[in-house]
Structure 1
Amino acid sequence: MYGRKWGIGVLVLFICFALALGLFFRSTARIRDMVEPLAPHGGEAPRKRIVLVSQELDNPYWRAVEEGARAAGEEYGMDIEYTGPYRINPEEQLRLLDQAIASRADGILIQGTGDPGSRALVSKAAEKGIPVVAVDADEPDSGRVAYTGTDNEAAGAAMAELVAEASGGAGRVGILAGTLRADSQRLRVEGFRRALARYPELTVAGVRTTDISRLQAANEAEVFLSMEPPVRFIVSFSSLDGLGALDAAERLRQPSELPEIFAFDDLPDTVAAISQGLIRASVVQEPRQMGREAVVLLQARLNGQPVPEKRYTPIRILQEPPTAVTKGGGRS
């Protein structure tokens, strides 16, 4: 009797085990069916995740960089993750860069800030095998793979030639720059001064920084416009500075006494002011091309190919009447 009960118990256990095993295989098949559609087909490599850390999230200039990066990313099977502070905030840029490194992105695009903390984080990324390309402003001596963007020294020289042409080679010039900590702004000012040295009767009244703020640019421009002898020409090396200078000039001067203002980039208000003859000219960059070139450089590096340390994008001159002289290549 006891043996019969034991045999029945073993049989029940066997049946339960068989049922559990069947359920296991059924669940495994279901999971496989769900996962397979998500897996790459035909031997395609998984998409790389590239993080683009912008200077300011909804800035039209950086949205154009994003557009260029996304277009190239689609060609190479890359997912571009675009991020940045809502307002210009270098500390937030560094936090977002650190976050991109911690997330093990396949590649990172950044704007160089000239901050030691930025250089340290780029070096940290390099140590972890994450290639970093600087866009718009370089971050030299940081371990970044490459820089792509404007030849900023050449852009400053082009600005000097515009002033020389407009002035006849004589007069006092005030310089507005967003920040001299950034490699891009510093090189623009240096290129401007170097080229202006060919015109001994054109003198620099000073260099004032604006923290990339239109209001601050207006305040600093007022300093130039209050000088004696008067400053006849104001040059601007970040996108809001020319508009700020115009705001100050319109507050302090009659229309017939407005100084000659030279701007940077092609914000809609800048283009409108040029068409109205209120701003003389602007040196315009190509942010979409920067974004595209940055992704091209990352793709080459990820494929183990050599990449140039610097790849410059062109500038063009916007003025009224529109003559749009294009200056490509060169050094930044």
Structure 2
Amino acid sequence: MSKRNWAPGLIALLLVCCYVLVLVKFFSSTLAIDRLVRQIEPGKAEAATLKHVVLIAQELDNPFWRMVEQGASEAAGQLGMRIDYMGPIRINPSEQMTLLAKSIAARPDAIVLQGISDPDYDRLINQAAEQGIPVIAVDADEPGSRRLAYVGTDNREAGRRMGELVVKGAGGNGRIGVIIGSERADNQRHRLEGFRSVIAMTPGYEIMDVRSSNISRIQAAQQAEAMLHEHKRIGTIVGFSALDAPGILEGIRASGHTDVRVFGFDEVEETRRGLTEGEIQAAIVQQPCEMGAKSVHLLAQYFKGRTTLPERHYIPIHIVDGERMKRAAGSP
């Protein structure tokens, strides 16, 4: 047979080999993709079983609310949930309401939020409940709504404890100024009510002025300075939200006063420093991490079928002063 007759056969054989090779690669790729899909699918199924919980804060980057988020996220990681954290950049009840409405429309498995004591907010929470979305109020309650439970401080009791601290540590000057975080928030009003109940029963003590910081350190400073210019004989100023005590210290310095005692709420870094250095006499300290974690644990019980829960879950508070701060730091 001539070389010319071999050529077409050789070309045909090469074409067949190439075709077979392409088929082999195609089926190998298909099998590889199939294996990959099988590996991914359990992950998708696992993700689908995660309960989606929305946490709506009063203020997005407030240290207190970041700790609530931390506690909720840590508990969620242990209990098969996913936390979506959101909130206004600055305190804004209207924006909280908008975020709640949008969250309900997204149909999460549950919502954790701060109560703001508003009838429209109540209606939104009721709407969530009607759609099978449980709502837990944290830090401030929304008792007029169909929320599942409240988790947070017993705020009237915390106010009473603050009153006892001030009476004990006011140094004989019973003229008191008060800075609250917000006039609209029930938790602030309840703290003030508890505080008033003690001061009203103690001879020689009087609340001279009450002002709002709007959960702002700068406004707390401005209000404290203005308060001291108007009431020059005030001997004690009490702050009822986390950023108030550091702001009050700034206001006292700006006013030129040197003999004003400060009592605060919660334990942000500036408050701890003020306690250690003796500029703040004492602080009532909440447990925001525990509030977040407890809220998630209650939801876990609800998801397992326990639809009736106690309405209020109070998280204990404790008192911190300069001596305790020094002991905790190991100072002599």
TM-score category of the 2 structures, normalised to the smaller one:
0.7 to 0.9
Aligned to 2:233: 230
Q: Tell me: CA distance 1:309–1:169, structure 2 relative to 1, closer, same or farther (3 Å).
A: farther
Code of the residue aligned with 1:274 in structure 2: it is L
The 1-side partners of 2:315 and 2:294 are apart by 8
TM-score, with length taken from structure 1? 0.82
The 2-side partners of 1:236 and 1:228 are apart by 17
Q: Tell me: CA distance 1:36–1:175, structure 2 relative to 1, closer, same or farther (3 Å).
A: same
CA contact (8 A) 1:177 1:209 kept: yes
CA contact (8 A) 1:68 1:288 kept: yes
Aligned to 2:112: 109
Aligned counterpart in structure 1 of residue 136 of structure 2, from 109, 133, 145: 133
Unaligned runs of 5+ in 1: 1-26, 325-332
CA contact (8 A) 1:40 1:46 kept: no
CA contact (8 A) 1:164 1:170 kept: no
Aligned to 1:246: 249
1:170 CA displacement: 5.2
Q: Which runs of structure 2 are paired with 1:183-262 in the superposition (5 Å)?
A: 183-228=186-231, 230-254=233-257, 257-262=258-263
Aligned counterpart in structure 1 of residue 91 of structure 2, from 75, 88, 93: 88
CA contact (8 A) 1:205 1:224 kept: no
The 2-side partners of 1:184 and 1:206 are apart by 19
Aligned to 1:6: none
The 1-side partners of 2:45 and 2:90 are apart by 44
CA contact (8 A) 1:76 1:299 kept: yes
1:160 CA displacement: 0.5
Aligned to 1:267: 268
Aligned counterpart in structure 2 of residue 100 of structure 1, from 98, 103, 115: 103
Deviation per CA, 1:29-74: give whole Å up to 9, x if none. x889737743479999811111111122222221111111112112
Code of the residue aligned with 2:170 in structure 1: it is S
Deviation per CA, 1:132-153: give whole Å up to 9, x if none. 0011111111110000011111
Q: Tell me: CA distance 1:45–1:126, structure 2 relative to 1, closer, same or farther (3 Å).
A: same
Q: Tell me: CA distance 1:189–1:58, structure 2 relative to 1, closer, same or farther (3 Å).
A: same
Q: Tell me: CA distance 1:35–1:186, structure 2 relative to 1, closer, same or farther (3 Å).
A: farther
Q: Which moved more, 1:229-238 or 1:166-175?
A: 166-175
Q: Tell me: CA distance 1:121–1:314, structure 2 relative to 1, closer, same or farther (3 Å).
A: same
Aligned counterpart in structure 2 of residue 320 of structure 1, from 315, 319, 322: 322
The 1-side partners of 2:203 and 2:238 are apart by 18
The 2-side partners of 1:90 and 1:160 are apart by 29
1:206 CA displacement: 2.2
Q: Which runs of structure 2 are paired with 1:1-332 in the superposition (5 Å)?
A: 34=37, 37-39=40-42, 46-167=49-170, 171-228=174-231, 230-254=233-257, 257-305=258-306, 306-322=308-324
Aligned to 1:13: none
Unaligned runs of 5+ in 2: 1-29, 327-332
- Provide the secondary structure at the position in 2 that maps to 1:163: helix
Code of the residue aligned with 1:288 in structure 2: it is C
The alignment's C-alpha RMSD in Å is 2.8
1:258 CA displacement: 2.9
The 1-side partners of 2:232 and 2:78 are apart by 56
The 2-side partners of 1:34 and 1:161 are apart by 64
The 2-side partners of 1:44 and 1:217 are apart by 44
1:89 CA displacement: 2.2
Higher share in helix = 2
Larger radius of gyration: 2
TM-score, with length taken from structure 2? 0.82
Deviation per CA, 1:152-192: give whole Å up to 9, x if none. 11111111011011125651111111112111101000010
1:111 CA displacement: 0.8
The 2-side partners of 1:261 and 1:125 are apart by 42
The 1-side partners of 2:276 and 2:325 are apart by 12
Q: Tell me: CA distance 1:280–1:136, structure 2 relative to 1, closer, same or farther (3 Å).
A: same
Code of the residue aligned with 1:176 in structure 2: it is I
The 2-side partners of 1:229 and 1:78 are apart by 53
CA contact (8 A) 2:275 2:325 kept: no
The 1-side partners of 2:104 and 2:231 are apart by 52
- Provide the secondary structure at the position in 1 that maps to 2:203: coil
CA contact (8 A) 1:169 1:202 kept: no
Code of the residue aligned with 2:80 in structure 1: it is G
Q: Which moved more, 1:163-172 or 1:148-157?
A: 163-172
